[in-house]
Amino acid sequence: MLRIECPCCGPRDHDEFRYGGDASVMRPRHDDPDPESWYRYVYVRKNPPGPHSEFWQHVTGCRQWLVVERDTRNHSILSVGFARK
């Protein structure tokens, strides 16, 4: 099991969280006319074997969206912070 150290609630089982995918992907400006940037935003992922920055929401706790850095090879969690800056 993963244990995510929620900055509000402390360490919690990952069953309390919802996964939100790759947090390094940036949404294009809403008036960006280039289909290529939308294609990349929706579909292309680096999918690294190693440290991965990703969104998790603490749905059954404080409901905050977090950015978690996790090693995808062994699930060790390197850092946790709020998604809102």
Partner 1 sequence: MSRYSAFSIFRNGLSGQKNWQRAWRAAEPKPAYDVIIVGGGGHGLATAFYLAENHGIRNVAVLEKGYIGGGNVGRNTTVIRSNYLLDGNTQFYEFSVKLWEGLSQALNFNVMFSQRGQIVTAHSADQLDTFSHRANVMRLNGIDADILDRDEVRRLVPYLDFSDTARFPIHGAILQGRAGTARHDAVAWGYARAADGHGVDIIQNCEVTGFVRDGDRIVGVETSKGRIGAGKVGLAVAGHTSVLGQKAGLELPIESHVLQAFVTEPLKPLVDHVVAYGADHFYVSQSDKGGLVFGGNLDGYNSYAQRGNLGIVREVAEAAIALMPCISRVRLLRHWGGVMDMTPDASPIICPTPIDGLYLNGGWCYGGFKATPASGWCFAHTLATGKPHPLIAAYGLDRFRTGHTLDEAGAGPAAWLQ
Say which entry of partner 1, Zn ion, none residue 49 contacts (CB below 5 to 8 A, set by partner kind).
Answer: partner 1
Residue selected from 15, 30, 84, 85 as contacting partner 1 according to rule CB under 8 A: 15
Contact 36, 54 (CB under 8 A): no
Residues 59-78, interacting with Zn ion (CB under 5 A): 61-62
Separation CA 17–CA 45 (nearest Å): 22
| Exposure of 38 in the CB half-sphere (CA atoms within 13 A) | 7
| List of residues contacting partner 1 (CB under 8 A) | 1-2, 14-15, 19-22, 35, 39-40, 42-49, 52, 54, 70, 72-75
